[in-house]
Amino acid sequence: MLPSTGIVKTLCQSLKEFPVQALVVDPVMVSTSGHTLAGPSILDSFREELLPMADIVTPNLKEASALLGGVPLETIADMRSAAKAIHDIGPRNVLVNGGDLPASLDAVDVFYDGNDFYEFHSSRIMTPNTHGTGCTLASTVAAELAKGSQMLSAVKVAKRYVEAVLSYSKNIAIGGGCQGPMDHLLKLKSNVERRPFDPCDLFLYAVTDSRMNKKWGRSIVDAVKAAIEGGASIIQLREKEVETGDFLEAAKACLKICRVHGVPLLINDRIDVALASDADGVHIGQSDMPAHVARALLGPDKIIGVSCKTPEHAQQAWIDGADYIGSGGVYPTNTKENNKTIGLDGLKTVCVSSKLPVVAIGGIGMSNAQAVMRLGVPNLKGVAVVSALFDRECVMTETRKLLEVLKESTKIAK
């Protein structure tokens, strides 16, 4: 926002003294909400000094009209003429932002580089959360140019980014103004719905298995529903044989159920599915993607669990930014081929060394869950179970019974 001729002149002088790699000028005069942000007195200095220095200028319809002496701009043809007329003032490129076109039309931006016109069409996202749309578009172009992109590709990325953010933010209700904010980092909505990881969530960890669900003729979603009804405190979708598209749909459907019940949903192995479904996190093993890479991909808020059989594994998981570790096989298991059994002693060794909370896994069920929990190491927070819940006729009943056994074990421990 450059509210006076003096400031525009000072800026232009400084730009001559300290040239920049690319100058993106968003000629802020009238906001999307219709507020006047700079008076007509600055127009001459914009036209005579600032715009000729610009690599790109990004006016909205009202600003383009003001720069051209008030011509009405109502159609895409008008926008093309305006882009050309503004280009004649001196900037190397012009992007006229058509967000203010009549609501019946697509959101169309017109880009002119002095030779060719490009129209960027996107469907109009009906939302009051448009505060900062123009600033976001211009800033994204600037960021892309700073990264070394060519102008056309920077403009394309910026347009796509604004569309993605508007779509993501469309239903967020924040603040009392007639225009709501855009959620640039795509964080606010999920934070509202998701609570932070609590190690106590590991108490009864239900891990699904596609073969078992198929054998008992139930869908992944039904299996998850039943485990939650039975009292599972965290769910992992471990679906090794399901096709990616089906896995993603199942993850989305399970997430809805899990969110309603405040139960975290993790995805085994598949970081892509976790990202695409916005699941609460992933569980990865020693031969999967390294946890520090998963953390970089998923960001700081998602839950990451890592399988650990040794203290060294546990130390690395902590360094890599994991939230918990799964340690086993405590007992032999038929669920995972060639799995090394570390026994209760191996589990205890890992727990004692681990700086992260631990969930025990492998061959655990009603008959031995108490023995596991009675190890009595403070960071052992629960048991993770596959076949004892899902290779059974009634998942809900088995989960409920195991929960009772686990609760008993905490009473005995006290």
Ligand X SMILES: Cc1ncc(COP(=O)(O)OP(=O)(O)O)c(N)n1
Please give the residue ranges that form the binding site for ligand X (CB under 6 A): 205, 207, 236, 238, 268-269, 283-285, 288, 305, 307, 326, 336, 359, 361, 384
Q: Per-residue x/- mask for ligand 3NM, residues 354 to 393, rule CB under 6 A?
A: -------xxxx--------------------xxxx-----
| Residue 131: both structure tokens together | 């505060």
Per the annotation, the verdict on 92 as an active-site residue is no
Vertex 98: Cα angle to 92 and 99 (nearest 5): 130
Q: 315 contacts which partner out of Mg ion, ligand X, ligand 3NM, none, CB within 5 to 8 A by kind?
A: none
Q: Per-residue x/- mask for ligand 3NM, residues 285 to 324, rule CB under 6 A?
A: ----------------------x-----------------
Residue 190: partners with Cβ closer than 8 Å, 6 or more residues away: 278, 301
User: Taking the complex as a whole, how short is the minimal distance between the CB of residue 324 and ligand 3NM, in angstroms?
Assistant: 13
339 binds Mg ion (CB under 5 A): no
User: Taking the complex as a whole, how short is the minimal distance between the CB of residue 309 and ligand X, in angstroms?
Assistant: 9
Per the annotation, the verdict on 238 as an active-site residue is yes
Catalytic one of 169, 210, 233, 307: 307
User: Taking the complex as a whole, how short is the minimal distance between the CB of residue 336 and ligand X, in angstroms?
Assistant: 5
User: Taking the complex as a whole, how short is the minimal distance between the CB of residue 317 and ligand X, in angstroms?
Assistant: 11
Q: 185: buried, middle or exposed (CB in 10 Å: 19+, 13-18, 0-12)?
A: exposed
Per the annotation, the verdict on 336 as an active-site residue is yes
Residue 107: partners with Cβ closer than 8 Å, 6 or more residues away: 98, 99, 101, 121, 122, 123, 124, 125, 163
Angle between helical axes of 151-169 and 133-146 (0-180°, round to 10): 140
Cβ distance 359 to 381 under 8 Å?
Answer: yes
Contacts 24+ apart (CB under 8 A), 98-107: 98/61, 99/32, 99/60, 99/61, 99/130, 99/133, 99/134, 100/32, 100/60, 100/61, 100/62, 101/61, 101/74, 101/75, 101/76, 102/74, 105/76, 107/163
Q: Which of 144, 183, 269, 398 binds Mg ion (CB under 5 A)?
A: 269
Q: Which of 272, 278, 288, 320 binds Mg ion (CB under 5 A)?
A: 288
Could you list the active site residues?
238, 307, 336
Binding positions for Mg ion, rule: CB under 5 A: 269, 285, 288
Binding positions for ligand 3NM, rule: CB under 6 A: 307, 326, 328-329, 333, 335-336, 339, 361-364, 385-388
